[in-house]
Amino acid sequence: MSTATQLTRDGLTFDVTEDGPTDGEPVVLLHGWPQYSDSWDAVVALLTEAGYRTIRMDQRGYSPGARPRGRRAYRMTEMVADAVALIDRYGGSAHVVGHDWGAAVAWALAAAAPDKVRSLTALSVPHPGAFLRALVTSRQGLKSWYMLFFQLPWLPERLLSRRLAWALTKGGQSAEHARRDAARFTEPGAMTGPLNWYRAIFLVDPRQASEPVRSPTLFVWSDGDVALDRHGAYNTAKYVQGPYQFEVLRGVSHWIPDEAPLQLAAMLLPHLKRWSVPES
């Protein structure tokens, strides 16, 4: 049974959902764009069945009480601070699993605050250093054209408010899940915060983006991903200095948690168990 609660940090209020036994080992799930934490529903069912306590937060720009104005409020350092506050509330360390932008936050969190991360699992998005290199050495730059489009004021909001479900299905999402996600962005102003994640990209220090990760890491990429090229995925190993496992889901699109929860759980559960930290 899910428990809805809230987390407050720096004047912002985030919506949080807890599932599973309260004495289970904590697993923090970070969603991507343009989705909310309900994108983890199928994965949560499998993790809680295995005895884990899952914690998922509608992130900055998504929770109605956490939509600050201006792109500077969406710097990666702020996203990481939000995640740290969440983890601190649930014991000070947790397994961290992120998809899409949630994976980017998870990578940055593991680099900046490794003591908070019992294990790291990143889905779809490679280490930011590998991604930046792929932008200039492969077709990734072409695949990421929309990131430049999102820098424009108001026009992306206007177009996506009308065509988001269509755009998601063109990117490989099922019609059912596309309708679910698009419905969350119908209220005025709901799209600007999530788009500001992209608008804050150019505020990132490339040197910070290249910091290595030492946490035990599982990276899962799918070869049907239309947005993320294989070069960043296969070069991510260069940026992980701890135990590392790389898996490829064949024939799966970008939307791994929705499309392949059973395949994901078959990789994720052994990873979590291997790096389990007994509660004191």
Give kind and range of the element (H or E) at residue 278: none
73 within domain boundaries: yes
What does the pLDDT read at residue 1?
Answer: 76
What does the pLDDT read at residue 280?
Answer: 54
Domain span including residue 195 = 3-274
Q: What is the mean pLDDT of residues 21-28?
A: 96
By DSSP bridging, strand 12-19 and strand 3-9 are antiparallel
Give the tens place of pLDDT for each residue, 187-201: 889 999 999 999 999
What does the pLDDT read at residue 209?
Answer: 83
**How many domains is the chain partitioned into structurally?**
1
242 within domain boundaries: yes
Q: What is the mean pLDDT of residues 251-261?
A: 98
What does the pLDDT read at residue 278?
Answer: 67
279 within domain boundaries: no
Which of 34, 78, 23 is closest to 184 using CA atoms? 34
Which CATH number belongs to the domain containing residue 36 in this structure? Answer: 3.40.50.1820
Enter the pTM of the model.
Answer: 0.97
Give the tens place of pLDDT for each residue, 97-149: 999 999 999 999 999 999 999 999 999 999 999 999 999 999 999 999 999 99
Whether pLDDT at 93 is above 80: yes
Dihedral in degrees, nearest 10, Cα atoms 161, 256, 124, 246:
180
What does the pLDDT read at residue 150?
Answer: 97
What does the pLDDT read at residue 182?
Answer: 97
What does the pLDDT read at residue 117?
Answer: 98
166 within domain boundaries: yes
